[in-house]
Amino acid sequence: MSKTVKHTKTFQKITIPSDWEVKHFGDIANIDKTSLKSNTPEDYEFDYISLSDVDSNDFKIETTKQVFANAPSRARRVVSKGDVLMSTVRPNLQGFTLIENDVSNLIASTGFAVISTREVINSYLFQYLFSSAIERQFHQLLVGSNYPAINSSDVKKLKIPLPPLPEQKAIAQVLSTWDTAIQKTEALLAQKELRKKWLMQQLLTGKKRLKGFETLKWKIQPLNNFIKLVIREIPKPNEPYLGIGLRSHGKGTFLKHDEQPEGNSMDKFYIVRANDLIVNITFAWEQAIAIVKPQDDGALASHRFPTYQFIENKGHPDFFRFFILQAKMKYMLELISPGGAGRNRVMNKSDFIKLEFLLPDYEEQVAIAQVLQAADKEIELIKAKTAQLREQKKGLMQQLLTGKIRMLKN
């Protein structure tokens, strides 16, 4: 490996070594080279690769079984080992994959370009698809507004800087090493998240008991044994303030700036404090309930967000932070939110405090919360490691795919 680059030229507003060639994809690869024929037997079965959830920011590549007679009319692109699949729909979201194993009867939807390399290492081209240089080219070619896409014919126009073949291979090997490490940490993360989900299901229902609490019985009790309504009323502020909001589906709180309080029609606001339990009476049926985070302390809420304080040595906020996320809680909130849909379904505050659940005493609440918090901490550490690996790979890509660091034999 060498950091010396004596002679350079410009490509996409960056410098690359002068001995690197710049070519179009159409010059170094076949694009969508093989297709199924129209006279394919109707009972021909194949694996169909398509995109799902293209309207979200985390769309997925999925494979389903299809029979030719029932398949989409343009499901024709044949995929082989070594091909690179490039999403032409929202390519900036990096829906790319490299077919590394032997495959048969594999067909791609029109949402992909099937790239079969001729004069370039396929894994090098695959890694290049994740670079900032190709992202700029995507931006220039995208058409459409709802689902921005690249026309199949435009894929051939994309440009790629090419070091000598041995260096392409070396660069791809280094970057794939980081890919492997990222995949391993992501697999570990998925495993730990499943374990936490299992722990919540077991510990929050009393199916699994922690050591030292096995003989203590849980009791069906109303929430007012653990929390009490607290009202910290203040007049409408005269200056900009931070308001608190609640996301549905148990996704927690968020803060919002109100820069013009004089335009707000409400005359009264309510202060929330860290570790309060807060619920949105309008969308309680969608599980808009949370425990107030420390960074939310002092934020202001409207009358639609009643807040409750935990009774000392009765209810522990860290335990209820997990408990309120259960499906049972959502079901009970739906029951006390009568009416139609949306804003017509308003939760009855007096009914909320009377909701009954099977719950442990305070000491066991604390112990359960500690176990689940430890699981959360482990998950956060793995997420941080994954993010670190991604940043390391990003830095390597900037160096290797521009030739600032050369992968040369000593």
Q: How confident is the model at residue 410 (pLDDT cuts 50, 70, 90)?
A: very low
Q: What is the pLDDT of residue 269?
A: 92
Q: How confident is the model at residue 205 (pLDDT cuts 50, 70, 90)?
A: very high
Residues 62 and 216: their CA atoms lie apart, in Å, by 48
DSSP characters over 79-104? --TT-EEEESBSGGG--EEE--S---
For the stretch 28-87, pLDDT in tens is 999 988 788 878 888 888 888 887 766 666 667 888 898 888 877 666 788 899 999 888
DSSP 163: -
**CA end-to-end distance (rounded Å), the chain:** 7
Cβ atoms of residues 18 and 8 within 8 Å:
yes
Both tokens of residue 205? 């229902």
What integer pLDDT is reported at residue 2 of this predicted model? 54
Q: What is the pTM of this model?
A: 0.82
- Is the predicted pLDDT of residue 3 greater than 60, yes or no? no
CB 322 within 8 A of CB 198: no
What mean pLDDT do residues 241-261 have? 91
Average pLDDT rounded to a whole number, residues 200-212: 96
Question: Would you state the pLDDT for residue 7?
Answer: 66
Q: What is the pLDDT of residue 238?
A: 84
Q: Please give the domain boundaries of the chain with CATH numbers for all domains.
A: 21-162 (3.90.220.20), 219-359 (3.90.220.20)
CA distances from 179 to 174, 175, 368 (A): 9, 6, 36
Task: Compute CA distances 14 → 17, 133, 339, 405, whole Å.
Answer: 10, 9, 61, 14
Q: Which is nearest to 216 in space by CA: 366, 361, 369, 372?
A: 361
* pLDDT tens digit sequence for 142-160: 876 667 888 878 899 999 9
Mean pLDDT for all residues in the chain: 89
Mean pLDDT lowest for which of 196-205, 340-349, 375-384, 400-409? 340-349
Asked whether 380 and 244 are in contact (CB, 8 A), the reply is no
Contacts of 7 (CB under 8 A, 6+ apart): 17, 18, 19
Average pLDDT over residues 302-328: 96
What percent of the chain is predicted at pLDDT more than 90? 61
Check pLDDT > 70 for residue 193.
Answer: yes
pLDDT number for residue 71 = 77
Q: Which helix (H) or strand (E) holds 400?
A: helix 362-400
Q: Give the model confidence (pLDDT) of 84-109 as tens digits.
A: 988 888 877 788 889 988 888 888 88
Contacts of 363 (CB under 8 A, 6+ apart): 213
pLDDT of residue 10: 87
Report which residue type is found at 106.
L
